[in-house]
Structures are given as C-alpha cells and as structure tokens.
Amino acid sequence: MKPAWDQLAAEYADSKTAGVYDVDCTSDGKPLCGTHGVRGFPTIKYGDPSNLEDYKGGRDLKSLQAFAAENLKPMCSPANIDLCDADKKAQLEGFMAMSDADLDAKIKEKKDEGDKLEETFTTEVKALQAKYEQLQKDKEEGIKAVKESGLGLMQAVAAHQKKVKSEL
C-alpha cells in the first residue's frame, strides 16, 4: 500500500484544498494518533482535521484515487457553511450558538457514548471468543471420545466384511 499512498500524496502535493499525509504513530505522531483513535496500522483517516473519519475502501492506487477525487475537497464545516445542506447548516448554527462550556459538555457526552459503544463491543467480542474457545474444546473432546469409542474399529470391520462378501 505504501507505494500507492506515496503516489497519491504526490498527486495532492500542490493542492490548495486537500492533502494526503503520513503520520508515524510510533514516534512524533503518537499524540495525534491517540487523539484520533488510531489503533492499528496502516489506518487511513479523512475529512475535516477536527472531525476525521475512518476510510474503509480499497488500498490500491485506483481505489485511493477514486475516493480522493470524490472526498478530498472542501466540505460542510464551520469554515465552509455555504457547502452545507439546510439540515447540516441548522445543526452547525445551533452548535455555534452554544457557549463553550455547553459545547464542551455536549462533545464529552458524545465521546462518552462512543467510548461506551467501544467498550460494549470489546466486552462482547471477548465473550464470543471465550464461547468459541469452549465450543472448540467441546468439539475436540467429543471427536476424541467418538474415535475412542471404537469408530475406527467399526469402520475397519465394515470394510473387511464388504471385502469378504465381494470375494464370495
């Protein structure tokens, strides 16, 4: 993916409205990556720098170019309110009318909701993993018990008896 990413970055190097950048989350970029919830590598984020979203598309150059052409442009935001539809514009205006304290509280509330969803997901995945491991163990023990109950010998007897009957 790195060569495709580097080529895309070169294509946007002189853009006045969009950029394609690398951030090393293991060194100087660690705080930025933490702020934007980067947990795995490579992770691609896009959008307004204060509200980055996860990219879930293809990782080849053609896919990246198609996505960039459609999405790396000025978008609805406080700085580009004229690009917003009526609903988003009204929502933005409502947020801009809030006091700093109220806006901070609302942001915290929404982040807490996201954190709770992430926590629930993680807990449930652990429970599923434990259930999977128990089912795997049960299956292996069951198959072992079936084999130890004489299945192999039964199959050998059946094959032997077919052979004897066919020879008669």
pLDDT at 74: 81
pLDDT at 114: 93
pLDDT at 36: 81
Distance CA 87, CA 99 (A): 21
Q: Which domains does the chain have, with CATH numbers?
A: 1-73 (3.40.30.10)
59 phi and psi angles, rounded to 5 deg: -110, 5
Q: Give the DSSP H or E segment for 164.
A: helix 152-167
Q: What's the pTM?
A: 0.56
The series of mean pLDDT values per 10 residues for the chain, 168 residues long, is 85 83 84 82 81 86 89 84 93 96 96 95 97 97 94 93 88
Distance CA 168, CA 158 (A): 16
Q: Which two tokens stand for residue 71?
A: 């999405």
pLDDT at 44: 86
Question: What sign does the dihedral 127-57-7-50 (CA atoms) show?
Answer: negative
pLDDT at 25: 85
pLDDT at 2: 82
pLDDT at 113: 96
pLDDT at 117: 96
Asked whether the beta carbons of 19 and 68 are under 8 A apart, the reply is: no
